[in-house]
Structure 1
Amino acid sequence: MDYQIARHNMVENQVRTNKVTDPLVIAAMEEVPRELFLPEGKRGIAYIDEDIPVGDGRFAMEPMVIARLMQSAEIAEADVALVIGAGFGYGSALISRVAETVVAVESNKEMASAAEAAFQKVNYDNVIVVEGELAAGYAKQAPYNVIIFDGAVCEVPAAILDQIAEGGRLLAVVREAGKVGVAKLYERENGVIGHRDLFDANIPYLPGFEPAESFVF
C-alpha cells in the first residue's frame, strides 16, 4: 500500500472538503504518517474517514474532526499545547507540527510507550508523553495556550479548565447523554472562561469521560 498517496487522498477528500482551509493544519495532515501512530494490525485502514478502534476502549479520532479542532484552536508557532488522551499519538503528532511544544497525557502505559516510539521514529522531538490520569490534565506544565481532548467527553473537568492560559483555547467534543456530540471552543479572557458551539461531531468517548448511568425506577 502506498501510504503517501492514501494520505494525500485523505487530505483532499476528507479534510479540504470539510471546511478545513488553514494551510498549517493541511500541511500537518499531509506530513504526519498516521499509519505509524496505530497498532500494526490497523495500519492498512489508517486513512479511512472513520474513528479507528485501537484497544482498551480507545479510538483514533476521525481525521476530519481533529483537523477541524486544530483549525478552530488557531494554534500559533509559539504555543504550548496539552493533549488529553494521547492514545497512540496521532493527534499529538499533528499538533506538534504547528505548536512549539506538546504535552501528551496518556493513562495507558502501553499506548504511551508506543506513542513515544513513534515520535522518535519520525524525529518529532517537541512532544512530551506523560503517563497519568486523564481527568487531571498535567498541571505541572500549566498554563497552556491550547488544550485538545482526543476523544469525546460528557463534560470538561474543572481541573483541566483551570489549566487554560489567559487568551488560551480549549477544544473538546462534548457529548451529553443521549445527544449528538458538539465540538466546543472554550476561551479564557480576562480570567473568565466562556464557550461556544462549533460543529456536530459524534466521535466515541474517552474512557472515564462517559456520562454517568441514570437509573429508571
Structure 2
Amino acid sequence: MNIEQARFNMIEQQIRPWDVLDSSVLSLLAIVRREEFVPPAYRAMAFTDMDLPLPEGQCMLSPKVEARLLQELAVHKHERVLEVGTGSGFMAALLAHKAREVISLEIRPALALQAKINLQRAAIVNAEVRQADGSRGLADEGPFDVIALSGSVAEIPQGLLDQLKVGGRLAAIVGEEPVMRAVLVTRSATGAFHRVELFDTVAPRLEGFGEPSKFSF
C-alpha cells in the first residue's frame, strides 16, 4: 500500500467533501501519521471511512468525524484543552498541535498506556494522558478553553459545561442510536450556553456517563 497516496485520498475524498475546509486542519491530517495510532492488525485500514476497533471493545472514530470536530472547535495556540476518551491518542495528537496544552482522560488502563506510547512516538510533548473516569472532567484544574468528548453520550453533563471558560467550546456526539448528532456548545456568559447542532453521525458510548431511564408500559 502506498501510504502517502492513501493519506491523500483520505483527505481529498472523505474529509474535504465533509465540509472540512480549514487549511490548518487539512495540513495537520497530512502531517500527523494516523497509521501509527492504529493497532497493527488494522493498520492497512488506517485511512478508511469507518470506525476502527481498539482493544477492550473500544474504537477509533472515523477520520472525517475527527476532522470535522477539530475544525468546529477552532482551537488556538494559547488554549488549554480537556479531552474525554483518549482511545488511541490520535485526536489528542491533533489537538496538541493546535493548543498550548492537552489533558486527555481514558478510563481503560490498557488504552491509556498505549496512547501514551503512541504520543511519545509521535514526539507530542504537550499532551498528557491520564487513566481516569472523565465523565466529571477535572474541575480542580479548570476552567478549560476547549473540551472534546471523543465518543457519544446520552446528554452532556452540566458539570462538564461548567468547566468551560467564558468563550470556551465543548464538542460532543449526543443522543441514542439510530439518531445521534454532533453538537458544539459555547459558553457565552457565566451562566449562559449556546448550542449548535453540527451533523448527524453515530459513535460508540463513552464509559462512565449516565443513561436516561427507560420506562416500559
- Give the shorter-chain TM-score range: over 0.9
Report the equivalent of 1:189.
188
Q: Deviations over 1:3-55 (max 9, x none)?
A: 22211211111111111111111111111111211222121211110111213
The alignment yields a C-alpha RMSD, in angstroms, of 1.6
SS of residue in 1 equivalent to 2:128: strand
Structure 1 Cα separation of the partners of residues 118 and 25 of structure 2: 20
Q: Could you tell me whether the CA contact under 8 Å between 1:105 and 1:138 is conserved in 2?
A: no
Letter in 1 for 2:107: S
Alignment of 1:1-217 (within 5 A): 1-175=1-175, 177-191=176-190, 192-209=192-209, 211-212=211-212, 214-217=214-217
Gaps of 5+ in 2: none
CA contact under 8 A between 2:52 and 2:62: conserved in structure 1?
A: yes
CA contact (8 A) 1:86 1:150 kept: yes
d(CA) in 1 for partners of 2:145, 2:170: 8
CA distance in 1, matches of 2:130, 2:142: 13
Please report how far the alpha carbon of residue 195 of structure 1 lies from its aligned counterpart in structure 2 after TM superposition.
1.1
Q: Identity percentage over the alignment?
A: 34
> How many corresponding residue pairs?
216
Deviation at residue 69 of structure 1 after TM alignment: 0.9
Structure 1 window deviating more from structure 2 (199-208 vs 67-76): it is 199-208
Q: 1:90-124 CA deviation, whole Å, 9 max, x = no partner?
A: 11111111112111111111111111111111111
Give the letter aligned to residue 155 of structure 2: E
Q: Normalised by the size of structure 2, how large is the TM-score?
A: 0.93
Does the 8 Å CA contact 2:177/2:202 hold for their aligned counterparts?
no
Q: What's the CA shift for 1:208?
A: 3.6
TM-score by structure 1 length? 0.93
Pick which of 59-68 and 36-45 moved more. Answer: 36-45
Name the amino acid aligned to 1:103: I
Distance 1:30 1:87 in 2: 20
Task: Give me the whole-angstrom Cα distance separating, in 1, the residues matched to 2:140 and 2:46.
Answer: 33
Q: Is the 8 A contact 2:55 2:111 kept in 1?
A: no
Which runs of no fewer than 5 residues in structure 1 stay unpaired? none
Contact 2:107–2:207 (CA under 8 A) maintained in structure 1: no
Counterpart CA distance in 1 for 2:44 and 2:137 is 32
**1:187 maps to amino acid:** T
Distance 1:4 1:149 in 2: 29
Within 1, Cα distance between the matches of 2:53 and 2:79? 30
Matched residue type, 1:214? K
